[in-house]
Structure 1
Amino acid sequence: MTTDALRGLAGRQSAGIKGGIASICSAHPLVIEAAMLHGKQEGGPLLIEATCNQVNQEGGYTGMTPAGFRRFVEAIAEKVGFDPQDLILGGDHLGPNPWKHLPAEEALVRAEVMIDAFTAAGFTKIHLDTSMGCAGEGTALADQVTAERAARLAKVCEASAAGSSFGAPVYIIGTEVPIPGGAMEVVEHLQVTTAQAALETVEVHRRAFSARGLEAAFERAIGVVVQPGVEFGNENVVFYNRPAARELNAALSRMPQFVFEAHSTDYQPVPALSALVEDGFRILKVGPGLTFALREALYGLDQIASFLFCIPDEQTLRAAMERLMLAEPGNWAKYYHGDERELRLQRHFSYSDRIRYYWPHPQVQSAVDRLMTVLGDDAIPETLISQYLGPLYPQVASGALSPTPHNILIASVKAVISDYAVACRS
């Protein structure tokens, strides 16, 4: 669980040495299993991150505390034979966001408890995000206020780490990305972070850390979150435009301690991901794109089962998902817009993939279990793979992939992770 691979990123950037690392941002067990199986094949560290909304001392939307999430991940590692020493756990957007409806001091006290729990549980990559306003404040805060609050949380983190056996954490600063969970609308124009803004982010945090006697902690700050001009909304993806980010990329030469961390890189093609890494975005975060691929595979299997076993439409997995999302709209209703046809499309097929919040629901788990039981462990005919799971057909036809249902799900997620592996090697 060493962070040496992360600490070395800036030096590699400065020396012109290729390479980056993908951050797997998901709490779905099949996604984590696929990441670990891919990691076993590739070798090297595997970075898995949980957001403040997914996991916190109150359980988050997964129902897991940081210690619970560690146990959950380590159980999967034991199941698949992944060496836990190659695992790095990260906490993403750690700050008052889950409690921003409260007054700032109350929200920050809860954020302190959360960051202590993450650090005590061995999360050694910490993204400090205190940029959001709390009750009675504006939506966004001044850089100085954000930095002071981040340093306050870092002090708690340092004290917690000193009493743990996991070692000192590395820090990510900066917040020029949408709220955790992604954009809520069609994305048309993105403002790339200016070089000056990136430099000022570093400097204002340096001063805030120093004011609290945290100079040694700031030396372990390795990454700055900036907006490189990549994003996805419900219906579209904005691809990386290298020329537009050239000035920002050049700023790294003036902050050799840092690399950039790129959020919302989901759905970027391999050439764009490779260009990001080459341009200094050495940490690439991916989350909804992984569960989007998993949902595609599950829906493909659902159609195959419907054809093979003449399952009525109302008994399909897709129908079960629709019933649950209509009955419990809290995870999508304020994010999706349009008439009933448009809403139905977005519920199931949005790039924002808010359907991912429903996979842990007992009703959905039962529906998935029924689907897998109906299909059994037999290989699916490759002609049906071609029809309903076309991207996997070449692997199946060549014999590289045995098309059992479980293998299909894992291979679909691994295909996305493989794109990131290619980019991070290039």
Structure 2
Amino acid sequence: MGLAVLFVFALLYAQTINGFTVELIHPNSLSNPNRNPSNSQFHWIRLAYNHTRSRAASIQRRLSGGGSAKFKTDIKSDGGGYIMKYSIGTPPFETYGIADTGSDVTWTQCQPCTDCFPQSLPVFDPKHSKSYKAASCDSDACALVGSSAGECSNGNVCQYQLTYGDNSQSVGDVATDTLTIGDSSFKNVVIGCGHQNSGTFSGNASGIVGLGNSDISIVKQLDKDVGGKFAYCLSSQPDSKSHISFGKDAIVKGTGAVSTPFSVSPAQSTFYYLSLESISVGGQSFPLKKSVSSNVGGRRAGIKETSVNGNIIIDSGTTLTIIPSDTFDSLKSELMKQIPETPIDDPQGAFGLCYSTSDKIEVPKIVAHFSGADVELSPRGSFLEIEEGISCFTLVQNSDFDLSIFGNLSEVDYLVGYDLEAQTVTFKPTDCSKY
């Protein structure tokens, strides 16, 4: 989640596609097939806060070189991710996964489920797919996920293991099958078929749709068809439409579009690093450190310590934006100066700056100043109602870890386009319900 595309192995059939777009489902939408109707409308943001912190800790461990299992990533399928509908197999079997730029592996729960988390929809059964093929341990598909660790099954089937920050895990077979997104189908896409998926999953989705930067992600696997381009438009409103596009549909340009380069770590190519130079509140600017720690990539055997030209990861699978504590304190102090109402405490002590919604606060202009791109945060994403009558600032401090993440609430009401060939991320203010 480098840039070299490994599909000289002809794992895909080339097609001519003009681009395609499908809807994304807000995590708190009634359209989410696994949303628990008994939960309050604020339950999801509380989950998302906890998920943001555990995910950040997991990513930091990964960047520090923790663990070496084959096909391994630190992602938690719960809380705050936008859901993408897609299909696997022949005939197509409809399923849902979190659209995640912080993950590479596309996986779903599979029968037989020796240990699966509850989901309201049927679980994919590979026996019913004519195009499903388990990957042997000497196959190109298995090589794509890495061969430095892990063991084959007794039947010579390549295995994967996903581990999570809370000690949850997904274990299953590496396989190839037909992937259908909207009206477009792609043969022989490498996926994970999870038979043991334990831990604190809530069933918000059946798995993950990997949109990261390494070769196992679907963006790289479909490179001949989509040209390394995808874009999403996230609405802050649960009942409003969000979308994700690939290929020509994902070219972001026109009035208001601004672009910033991304970089990747040679040791961990999953993540898209941006250079966030400063954040301003009503014209008062507060700088950030220019680059991440020089030990990003960690000390894993055979991997030298490396640096990366960037100081924040943009991550659609993380809800809140995490920034350094000193920057957060400066922003909080400035917001309190510019917002005349009196702050109140979050009853659960999680969010650092809150106001009563009865005061109808006017949020000053908050701008993220990336290298070459100024992105004004949508007020609907920078302050959010977390309980009845209480609205809180959705940027939080990284007091427990040395990592910054630009989360999806800071990306709402923008068309956000990734171009893996140009290595840029482009932001364009957009009404996502009309995109």
TM tier, shorter chain? 0.3 to 0.5
Which of the two has greater strand per residue? Answer: 2
So what's the TM-score if we normalise by structure 2? 0.32
Which of the two has greater helix per residue? Answer: 1
